[in-house]
């Protein structure tokens, strides 16, 4: 009587461990931003009028455009994962590249938005903020720069992961049987999008 032997490929363990690692990393990131959201809520409760006035200084159009941009990028990175599962490597490469360009567009918009604030003398520690703004407004813009700046850093990291994912796809190291790098790239990017979905209304809409 023959005994069937189940052989597991080493890549199976690598894929599982990398995915578990990514989920743990995402959990720590959610804790970090969750703490910042709590701080924001407390300061807003203590300084409602100042937060309202400061919020009027932000450009809702740019904020809305960036929100649409990231929502589209979530779709394209998800489509890239699906394309790889179907064995459509070139389509996956194209979709990850499109997501990269979209992320770059987000950063360009953020650069111009911050540039306008800097031209008005609004940045952490500036004389204008320290001497002409109320304590509540200083808190608002301090949180604005810290939280959107931290989010922009995550965008850059996500784009760097995309570069490695595309390189892996081109070299054949990322394929339907070994998709973990692209899967983790998608998970990370969805995290970036999720964080912005909370940042957008807090800073741009709730006045």
Can you tell me which residue has the tokens 């790098």? 181
Quick one: average pLDDT of 33-39? 96
Residue 64 lies in a domain: yes
- pLDDT tens digit string along 109-136? 999 999 999 998 998 888 888 888 999 9
pLDDT at 51: 95
With respect to residue 201, please indicate whether it lies within any of the assigned structural domains.
yes
Read off the pLDDT of each residue in 77-98 and give the average, rounded to a whole number. Answer: 97
- Within-domain flag for 2: no
Q: In this structure, is residue 134 part of a structural domain?
A: yes
Number of structural domains found in the chain: 1
Indicate whether this model's pTM tops 0.85. yes
Asked whether residue 23 is assigned to any structural domain, the reply reads yes
What is the tally of helices (H) and strands (E) in the chain? 7, 0
CATH code at 95?
A: 1.20.120.80
What is the domain range of residue 55?
Answer: 13-205
Is the residue at 92 inside a domain? yes
pLDDT in tens, 129-165: 888 899 999 999 999 999 999 999 999 999 999 999 9
**CB-count burial class (<10 Å; 0-12, 13-18, 19+) for 169:** buried
Question: What gap in Å lies between CA 164 and CA 190, rounded to an integer?
Answer: 17
Q: What is the mean pLDDT of the chain?
A: 90
- Residue 158 covered by a domain: yes
200 falls within a domain: yes
Looking at residue 25, its pLDDT comes to: 87
């Amino acid at each position: 009587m023959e005994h069937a032997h189940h052989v597991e490929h080493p890549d199976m363990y690598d894929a599982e461990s990398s995915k578990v690692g990514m989920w743990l990393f995402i959990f720590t990131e959610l804790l970090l931003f969750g703490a910042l959201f709590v701080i924001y809520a407390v300061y807003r409760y203590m300084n409602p009028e100042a937060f309202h006035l400061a919020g009027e200084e932000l450009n809702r159009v740019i904020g809305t455009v960036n929100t649409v941009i990231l929502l589209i990028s979530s779709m394209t990175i998800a489509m890239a994962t699906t394309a790889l599962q179907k064995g459509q490597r070139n389509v996956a490469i194209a979709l990850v590249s499109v997501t990269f360009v979209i992320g770059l567009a987000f950063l360009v918009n953020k650069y111009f938005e911050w540039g306008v604030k800097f031209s008005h003398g609004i940045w952490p520690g500036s004389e204008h903020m320290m001497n002409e703004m109320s304590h509540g407004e200083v808190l608002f813009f301090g949180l604005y720069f810290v939280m959107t700046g931290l989010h922009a850093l995550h965008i850059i990291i996500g784009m760097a992961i995309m570069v490695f994912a595309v390189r892996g796809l081109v070299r054949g190291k990322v394929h339907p049987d070994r998709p973990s790098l692209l899967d983790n790239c998608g998970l990370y990017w969805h995290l970036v999008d999720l964080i912005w979905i909370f940042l957008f209304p807090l800073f741009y809409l709730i006045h």
